[in-house]
Amino acid sequence: MRRLGVMIAGMMLAGGGAQAASPAVAAMETNLYGAVSGAYGDYEPGPLARGAVSGVYPGLMLGGGILWPGAHHDDYGALSYRFGVGELGTASGAPDRASFNRVEARLGVGMELASGAEIIPYFAFGYQCWNQAVPGGGGAVYQTALLGGGGKLDLPLGRGVAASVGVEVLALAGGASRLRDAGNGTEAQGVTPQERVELGLDAPIYGPVHMQAGAYLDHFTYLGGNYEPFAATTEGGVDFGLAYSFY
C-alpha cells in the first residue's frame, strides 16, 4: 500500500503541474493514528462565580489525515477526536469528576517551500463539551460548536523525521451551558474566541508504522450569563502514540 501511494504520487507529478510534499511531511500527514494523552486544565471564573476548578486528567486521541498532490498545491484534510476524564479539584474541596470531548475537522491546502517544508493554511470546524460532575449535586455541562481556521508549518528533519508547529483561532459558536440537577434550562454562552498552539513530531519505526508525539496549549473564555458568569479556561497537554502511514 505504501508503494502504491508513492507510485500514484509519482505519476501525478509526471503528468504536469502537480506538487508533492517531501516524503517525511507526506508520511506525517497521511495516516491513521491513536495516542494516549495527559492534560492539565484550569477554569477561572469571574469574581461572582462559584470558584476555580483545576487538575490533571488522562485521555486518548484518535484521528487521521491526508496530504494529496494537487495542481500547484497539496490538498489537506484531517479529523481528530480527543477524550479526557479525571477528578479535578474545586474551591469547595469537592472533587469534580469531569469528562471532556473534542472533535475537529480541518480542510486546507499545502504549499511547499524550497527547503522541503510545507505551509498548510486550513479552515476548521468541530465540537467540544465539558461535563462537570460534582458528587452530591452540582456541576454543569458546557458545550459549543467550533468554527474558524489556522495554519501549520511542517519541517522535514532528516532520516524520515518531521516536526510541525501550528496556530489556530476558533470561535466558540452557538455555545450553551446548563447546571446539573437544576430546572433552569439551558443558557446561551454567546460567541468568544479559542486560541490554540500545537507542536508535533513524527518518526518512522518500521515500514509504515510511525511514532508520533505532540503538545498543545489552549485558551478560551465562556461569555457567561445569569447563573454562570464570565470564565476563562487554560488547558495544556501532551500525547504519545503510533500512526500507520499510507504514503
Q: Give the model confidence (pLDDT) of 94-113 as tens digits.
A: 777 889 999 999 999 999 98
What is the residue range of 159's domain? Answer: 2-245
Q: What's the whole-number average pLDDT of the chain?
A: 84
Give CB contacts under 8 A, 24+ apart, made by 4-7. Answer: 5/30, 5/246, 5/247, 6/247
Is the Cβ–Cβ distance between 31 and 246 less than 8 Å?
Answer: yes
**Side-chain-facing half-sphere of 60: CA atoms under 13 Å:** 5
Return the minimum-mean-pLDDT range out of 31-35, 47-51, 86-90, 204-208: 47-51
Please report, for the domain that includes residue 71, its CATH number: 2.40.128.100
Taking 50 as the threshold, does the pLDDT of residue 70 lie above it? yes
Return the minimum-mean-pLDDT range out of 12-21, 115-124, 171-180: 12-21
pTM, rounded to two decimals: 0.84
Three-state DSSP at 164 gives strand
Q: What is the pLDDT of residue 137?
A: 62
What distance in Å separates the CA atoms of residue 151 and residue 119, rounded to the nearest whole number? 7
Name the more confident of 68 and 210: 210
**CA torsion 204→208→211→212, rounded to 10°?**
110
Mean pLDDT of 206-226: 89
Q: What is the pLDDT of residue 183?
A: 59
Cβ atoms within 10 Å of 149's Cβ, excluding its own: 16
Q: What is the DSSP string of 175-220?
A: EEEEETT-SS--EE---EEEEEEEEEEEEEEETTEEEEEEEEEEEE
Strands 187-188 and 74-90, by their bridges, are unpaired
What distance in Å separates the CA atoms of residue 102 and residue 168, rounded to the nearest whole number? 15
User: pLDDT tens digits for 12-68?
Assistant: 333 334 445 789 999 999 999 999 999 999 887 765 455 678 899 999 999 999 999
Tracing cell 506538487 back to the chain, one arrives at: 19
What distance in Å separates the CA atoms of residue 46 and residue 231, rounded to the nearest whole number? 6
Count of domains forming the chain = 1
CA pseudo-torsion sign 176, 182, 185, 187? negative
All three cell numbers of 64: 487521521
Name the more confident of 138 and 8: 138
Cβ atoms within 10 Å of 86's Cβ, excluding its own: 19
